[in-house]
Amino acid sequence: MNLWFTENQTDNLRLSFRVKNLVEFRKSKFQTLAVYDTVEYGRLFTLDDFVMLTEKDEFVYHEMISHIALSCHPKPENILVIGGGDGGTIREIERHSRVKNITLVEIDREVVEISKKHLPFVACGFDDERVSVIIDDGIEYIKNHKNKFDIIFIDSTDPVAFAEGLFHTDFYKFVFDALKKDGIMVAQTEYPFLKGDFIKEVFSSLKQVFPIVSPYLAFIPTYPTGMWSFAFASKKYHYINDLNPEFTKDFAEKLKYYTPEVHKAAFALPKFVKDLIE
Ligand code: SAM
Protein backbone atom coordinates (compact mmCIF):
# COMPACT_ATOMS: atom_id res chain seq x y z
CA MET A 1 0.00 0.00 0.00
CA ASN A 2 2.75 2.45 -0.75
CA LEU A 3 1.85 3.31 -4.32
CA TRP A 4 1.58 6.99 -5.22
CA PHE A 5 0.70 8.96 -8.35
CA THR A 6 2.56 12.28 -8.43
CA GLU A 7 1.70 15.16 -10.71
CA ASN A 8 4.59 17.54 -11.37
CA GLN A 9 2.51 20.69 -11.52
CA THR A 10 5.57 22.86 -12.12
CA ASP A 11 9.29 22.15 -11.78
CA ASN A 12 8.97 23.10 -8.12
CA LEU A 13 5.53 21.88 -7.11
CA ARG A 14 4.04 18.39 -6.88
CA LEU A 15 0.72 16.87 -5.83
CA SER A 16 0.65 13.20 -4.81
CA PHE A 17 -2.26 10.79 -4.40
CA ARG A 18 -1.98 7.48 -2.56
CA VAL A 19 -3.13 4.92 -5.12
CA LYS A 20 -4.95 1.64 -4.47
CA ASN A 21 -4.38 0.34 -8.00
CA LEU A 22 -3.72 1.25 -11.60
CA VAL A 23 -6.93 0.58 -13.56
CA GLU A 24 -5.62 1.22 -17.10
CA PHE A 25 -2.59 2.77 -18.77
CA ARG A 26 -2.36 3.33 -22.53
CA LYS A 27 -0.74 5.55 -25.13
CA SER A 28 -2.79 7.08 -27.92
CA LYS A 29 -1.54 8.89 -31.02
CA PHE A 30 -1.74 12.12 -28.98
CA GLN A 31 -1.02 11.43 -25.31
CA THR A 32 -0.64 8.96 -22.45
CA LEU A 33 -3.89 8.06 -20.73
CA ALA A 34 -4.16 6.55 -17.24
CA VAL A 35 -6.88 5.72 -14.75
CA TYR A 36 -6.10 5.00 -11.09
CA ASP A 37 -8.13 4.25 -7.98
CA THR A 38 -6.95 6.60 -5.25
CA VAL A 39 -7.60 6.46 -1.51
CA GLU A 40 -8.85 10.03 -0.99
CA TYR A 41 -10.32 11.10 -4.34
CA GLY A 42 -11.78 7.93 -5.82
CA ARG A 43 -11.08 7.34 -9.50
CA LEU A 44 -8.43 9.58 -11.04
CA PHE A 45 -7.99 10.22 -14.78
CA THR A 46 -4.69 11.64 -16.07
CA LEU A 47 -3.40 12.69 -19.49
CA ASP A 48 0.39 12.85 -19.86
CA ASP A 49 0.56 12.54 -16.05
CA PHE A 50 -1.57 15.64 -15.48
CA VAL A 51 -4.76 15.37 -13.46
CA MET A 52 -7.84 15.74 -15.67
CA LEU A 53 -10.42 14.82 -13.09
CA THR A 54 -11.10 12.86 -9.94
CA GLU A 55 -14.37 11.22 -8.97
CA LYS A 56 -14.63 13.25 -5.77
CA ASP A 57 -14.16 16.81 -7.03
CA GLU A 58 -14.96 16.73 -10.80
CA PHE A 59 -18.40 18.22 -10.10
CA VAL A 60 -16.88 21.61 -9.34
CA TYR A 61 -15.17 21.98 -12.71
CA HIS A 62 -18.03 20.54 -14.75
CA GLU A 63 -20.81 22.49 -13.06
CA MET A 64 -18.86 25.72 -13.17
CA ILE A 65 -17.69 25.46 -16.77
CA SER A 66 -21.27 24.83 -17.97
CA HIS A 67 -24.02 26.41 -15.83
CA ILE A 68 -22.65 29.97 -15.77
CA ALA A 69 -23.16 30.64 -19.49
CA LEU A 70 -26.28 28.48 -19.68
CA SER A 71 -27.82 30.60 -16.89
CA CYS A 72 -27.21 33.84 -18.84
CA HIS A 73 -28.36 32.80 -22.34
CA PRO A 74 -32.15 32.89 -22.84
CA LYS A 75 -32.18 30.47 -25.79
CA PRO A 76 -29.14 28.15 -25.74
CA GLU A 77 -30.21 25.68 -28.40
CA ASN A 78 -27.00 24.81 -30.25
CA ILE A 79 -23.99 24.10 -28.11
CA LEU A 80 -20.41 23.26 -29.09
CA VAL A 81 -17.89 21.70 -26.70
CA ILE A 82 -14.24 21.60 -27.79
CA GLY A 83 -12.26 18.97 -25.87
CA GLY A 84 -14.18 17.54 -22.92
CA GLY A 85 -13.95 13.95 -24.21
CA ASP A 86 -14.45 12.58 -20.69
CA GLY A 87 -18.12 13.61 -20.92
CA GLY A 88 -18.40 15.64 -17.69
CA THR A 89 -19.27 18.91 -19.40
CA ILE A 90 -21.94 17.41 -21.66
CA ARG A 91 -23.46 15.64 -18.63
CA GLU A 92 -24.09 19.07 -17.09
CA ILE A 93 -25.25 20.75 -20.33
CA GLU A 94 -27.83 18.00 -20.82
CA ARG A 95 -29.59 19.06 -17.61
CA HIS A 96 -30.88 22.10 -19.54
CA SER A 97 -34.03 21.14 -21.44
CA ARG A 98 -33.74 24.33 -23.55
CA VAL A 99 -30.64 22.82 -25.24
CA LYS A 100 -31.48 21.08 -28.55
CA ASN A 101 -28.08 20.01 -29.96
CA ILE A 102 -24.70 19.42 -28.36
CA THR A 103 -21.68 18.87 -30.61
CA LEU A 104 -18.56 17.59 -28.86
CA VAL A 105 -15.29 17.91 -30.82
CA GLU A 106 -12.55 15.89 -29.15
CA ILE A 107 -9.17 15.34 -30.81
CA ASP A 108 -8.43 11.99 -29.15
CA ARG A 109 -10.93 9.15 -29.66
CA GLU A 110 -9.25 7.18 -26.87
CA VAL A 111 -10.25 9.76 -24.24
CA VAL A 112 -13.91 9.06 -25.03
CA GLU A 113 -13.27 5.29 -25.05
CA ILE A 114 -11.40 5.13 -21.75
CA SER A 115 -14.00 7.37 -20.08
CA LYS A 116 -16.88 5.21 -21.24
CA LYS A 117 -15.02 2.16 -19.91
CA HIS A 118 -13.78 3.43 -16.55
CA LEU A 119 -15.40 6.79 -15.71
CA PRO A 120 -19.16 6.15 -15.90
CA PHE A 121 -19.88 8.99 -13.45
CA VAL A 122 -18.81 11.52 -16.13
CA ALA A 123 -19.30 9.50 -19.34
CA CYS A 124 -23.00 8.98 -18.67
CA GLY A 125 -24.38 11.42 -21.25
CA PHE A 126 -23.00 10.20 -24.57
CA ASP A 127 -26.25 8.36 -25.43
CA ASP A 128 -28.42 11.46 -25.15
CA GLU A 129 -30.00 11.93 -28.58
CA ARG A 130 -29.02 15.62 -28.62
CA VAL A 131 -25.28 14.72 -28.58
CA SER A 132 -23.03 14.29 -31.64
CA VAL A 133 -19.39 13.36 -31.07
CA ILE A 134 -16.87 14.42 -33.71
CA ILE A 135 -13.27 13.23 -33.49
CA ASP A 136 -11.27 16.14 -34.86
CA ASP A 137 -8.98 19.00 -33.94
CA GLY A 138 -11.21 21.71 -32.49
CA ILE A 139 -9.09 24.39 -34.16
CA GLU A 140 -9.75 22.98 -37.63
CA TYR A 141 -13.41 22.32 -36.86
CA ILE A 142 -14.17 25.85 -35.73
CA LYS A 143 -12.68 27.42 -38.86
CA ASN A 144 -15.39 25.78 -40.95
CA HIS A 145 -18.42 26.93 -38.94
CA LYS A 146 -19.90 30.41 -38.97
CA ASN A 147 -22.82 31.94 -37.08
CA LYS A 148 -23.95 28.54 -35.83
CA PHE A 149 -23.66 28.14 -32.05
CA ASP A 150 -25.32 29.83 -29.07
CA ILE A 151 -22.62 28.80 -26.62
CA ILE A 152 -19.12 27.38 -27.18
CA PHE A 153 -17.29 25.72 -24.30
CA ILE A 154 -13.52 25.21 -24.53
CA ASP A 155 -12.92 22.29 -22.16
CA SER A 156 -9.30 21.69 -23.08
CA THR A 157 -6.07 20.41 -21.63
CA ASP A 158 -3.28 22.81 -20.61
CA PRO A 159 -1.93 25.17 -23.30
CA VAL A 160 0.76 22.83 -24.63
CA ALA A 161 1.19 20.78 -27.84
CA PHE A 162 -2.08 20.36 -29.80
CA ALA A 163 -4.07 22.32 -27.19
CA GLU A 164 -1.83 25.39 -27.36
CA GLY A 165 -3.64 26.98 -30.29
CA LEU A 166 -6.89 26.96 -28.30
CA PHE A 167 -5.63 29.96 -26.30
CA HIS A 168 -4.63 32.33 -29.14
CA THR A 169 -6.28 35.49 -30.48
CA ASP A 170 -6.72 33.91 -33.94
CA PHE A 171 -8.60 31.02 -32.40
CA TYR A 172 -10.85 33.37 -30.39
CA LYS A 173 -11.68 35.18 -33.65
CA PHE A 174 -12.83 31.88 -35.17
CA VAL A 175 -14.88 31.20 -32.02
CA PHE A 176 -16.46 34.67 -32.31
CA ASP A 177 -17.40 33.96 -35.95
CA ALA A 178 -18.77 30.50 -35.12
CA LEU A 179 -21.10 32.03 -32.52
CA LYS A 180 -24.48 33.55 -33.38
CA LYS A 181 -24.86 37.30 -32.89
CA ASP A 182 -25.72 36.89 -29.18
CA GLY A 183 -23.36 33.97 -28.47
CA ILE A 184 -21.22 33.25 -25.42
CA MET A 185 -17.88 31.46 -25.06
CA VAL A 186 -16.56 29.90 -21.86
CA ALA A 187 -13.02 28.50 -21.59
CA GLN A 188 -10.92 27.03 -18.81
CA THR A 189 -7.99 29.41 -18.28
CA GLU A 190 -5.61 27.88 -15.71
CA TYR A 191 -4.60 29.12 -12.24
CA PRO A 192 -3.92 32.75 -11.33
CA PHE A 193 -1.48 32.06 -8.47
CA LEU A 194 1.25 30.73 -10.76
CA LYS A 195 0.05 31.44 -14.29
CA GLY A 196 -0.46 35.20 -13.98
CA ASP A 197 1.41 36.10 -17.17
CA PHE A 198 -0.51 33.51 -19.15
CA ILE A 199 -3.86 34.73 -17.80
CA LYS A 200 -2.91 38.33 -18.59
CA GLU A 201 -2.20 37.36 -22.19
CA VAL A 202 -5.38 35.29 -22.60
CA PHE A 203 -7.65 38.06 -21.30
CA SER A 204 -5.90 40.73 -23.33
CA SER A 205 -6.53 38.56 -26.45
CA LEU A 206 -10.17 37.94 -25.52
CA LYS A 207 -10.80 41.64 -24.99
CA GLN A 208 -9.59 42.32 -28.52
CA VAL A 209 -12.32 40.02 -29.82
CA PHE A 210 -15.35 40.12 -27.46
CA PRO A 211 -17.15 43.18 -26.01
CA ILE A 212 -17.99 41.50 -22.65
CA VAL A 213 -15.16 39.58 -20.98
CA SER A 214 -14.53 38.49 -17.40
CA PRO A 215 -12.67 35.78 -15.55
CA TYR A 216 -14.47 33.84 -12.86
CA LEU A 217 -13.14 31.46 -10.23
CA ALA A 218 -13.92 28.11 -8.65
CA PHE A 219 -12.27 26.09 -5.89
CA ILE A 220 -10.95 22.79 -7.25
CA PRO A 221 -8.84 20.86 -4.73
CA THR A 222 -6.95 18.61 -7.17
CA TYR A 223 -5.99 21.28 -9.73
CA PRO A 224 -2.76 23.25 -9.21
CA THR A 225 -3.10 25.71 -6.29
CA GLY A 226 -6.82 24.89 -5.87
CA MET A 227 -7.94 28.20 -7.35
CA TRP A 228 -9.09 27.72 -10.95
CA SER A 229 -10.07 30.34 -13.50
CA PHE A 230 -12.50 30.34 -16.41
CA ALA A 231 -13.15 33.00 -19.05
CA PHE A 232 -16.65 34.28 -19.82
CA ALA A 233 -16.64 36.06 -23.20
CA SER A 234 -19.88 37.27 -24.68
CA LYS A 235 -21.29 39.25 -27.59
CA LYS A 236 -24.41 40.45 -25.78
CA TYR A 237 -25.39 38.82 -22.49
CA HIS A 238 -23.79 39.95 -19.25
CA TYR A 239 -22.56 37.45 -16.67
CA ILE A 240 -24.45 39.08 -13.77
CA ASN A 241 -27.15 41.33 -15.29
CA ASP A 242 -28.51 38.53 -17.48
CA LEU A 243 -28.29 35.73 -14.90
CA ASN A 244 -31.68 34.04 -14.63
CA PRO A 245 -31.99 31.65 -11.64
CA GLU A 246 -35.06 30.07 -13.31
CA PHE A 247 -32.77 28.36 -15.83
CA THR A 248 -31.26 26.01 -13.21
CA LYS A 249 -34.29 25.76 -10.92
CA ASP A 250 -35.61 22.41 -12.22
CA PHE A 251 -32.45 20.53 -11.30
CA ALA A 252 -30.98 22.76 -8.56
CA GLU A 253 -31.30 19.93 -6.01
CA LYS A 254 -29.03 17.70 -8.12
CA LEU A 255 -26.14 20.18 -8.24
CA LYS A 256 -23.35 20.16 -5.68
CA TYR A 257 -21.47 23.41 -6.33
CA TYR A 258 -23.34 25.78 -8.65
CA THR A 259 -26.08 27.99 -7.24
CA PRO A 260 -27.14 31.44 -8.49
CA GLU A 261 -25.36 32.87 -5.41
CA VAL A 262 -22.14 31.03 -6.26
CA HIS A 263 -22.55 32.27 -9.85
CA LYS A 264 -22.46 35.90 -8.67
CA ALA A 265 -19.71 35.27 -6.15
CA ALA A 266 -17.48 33.59 -8.75
CA PHE A 267 -17.11 36.95 -10.50
CA ALA A 268 -16.01 38.74 -7.30
CA LEU A 269 -12.30 38.67 -8.03
CA PRO A 270 -9.49 38.92 -5.49
CA LYS A 271 -7.45 42.05 -6.10
CA PHE A 272 -4.39 40.28 -7.50
CA VAL A 273 -6.59 38.55 -10.12
CA LYS A 274 -8.35 41.80 -11.01
CA ASP A 275 -4.97 43.49 -11.43
CA LEU A 276 -3.97 40.79 -13.95
CA ILE A 277 -6.79 41.62 -16.31
CA GLU A 278 -6.97 45.41 -16.03
N1 SAM B 1 -10.94 19.20 -17.03
C2 SAM B 1 -9.69 19.02 -17.68
C3 SAM B 1 -8.57 19.87 -17.11
O4 SAM B 1 -8.56 21.09 -17.27
O5 SAM B 1 -7.69 19.27 -16.51
C6 SAM B 1 -9.78 19.14 -19.14
C7 SAM B 1 -10.64 18.04 -19.70
S8 SAM B 1 -9.76 17.01 -20.75
C9 SAM B 1 -10.73 15.65 -21.02
C10 SAM B 1 -9.58 18.01 -22.16
C11 SAM B 1 -9.62 17.31 -23.50
O12 SAM B 1 -9.27 18.29 -24.50
C13 SAM B 1 -8.64 16.16 -23.68
O14 SAM B 1 -9.37 14.97 -23.83
C15 SAM B 1 -7.86 16.50 -24.97
O16 SAM B 1 -7.64 15.38 -25.80
C17 SAM B 1 -8.78 17.54 -25.60
N18 SAM B 1 -8.12 18.47 -26.53
C19 SAM B 1 -6.93 19.09 -26.39
N20 SAM B 1 -6.65 19.84 -27.47
C21 SAM B 1 -7.69 19.69 -28.33
C22 SAM B 1 -7.99 20.21 -29.62
N23 SAM B 1 -7.13 21.01 -30.27
N24 SAM B 1 -9.17 19.86 -30.20
C25 SAM B 1 -10.04 19.03 -29.57
N26 SAM B 1 -9.82 18.50 -28.34
C27 SAM B 1 -8.65 18.82 -27.74
Q: What is the ipTM of this complex?
A: 0.97
pLDDT per position as a tens digit, 11-50: 999 999 999 999 999 999 999 999 999 999 999 999 999 9
Task: Say how far apart CA 53 and CA 107 lie, in whole Å.
Answer: 18
pLDDT per position as a tens digit, 175-234: 999 999 999 999 999 999 999 999 999 999 999 999 999 999 999 999 999 999 999 999
pLDDT bracket for residue 165 (50, 70, 90): confident
Q: Is 108 a catalytic residue?
A: no
The residue to mutate among 33, 57, 107, having the most atoms of ligand 1 within 8 angstroms of its beta carbon, is 107
User: In the chain, what are the helix, strand and coil shares in percent, each to the nearest 5?
Assistant: 30, 35, 35
Which domains, and CATH codes, for the chain? 3-54 (2.30.140.10), 58-277 (3.40.50.150)
Calculate what percentage of the chain has a pLDDT beyond 90. 94
Q: How many of the other CB atoms lie within 10 Å of CB of 11? A: 6
Which ligand 1 atom is nearest residue 115's CA?
9
pLDDT recorded at residue 21: 96
pLDDT bracket for residue 162 (50, 70, 90): confident
State pTM to two decimals: 0.97
The residue to mutate among 53, 106, 154, having the most atoms of ligand 1 within 8 angstroms of its beta carbon, is 106
pLDDT bracket for residue 1 (50, 70, 90): low
Query: Nearest C-alpha to atom 5 of ligand 1 is from which residue?
Result: 52
Residue pair 76/96 in contact by the 8 Å Cβ criterion: yes
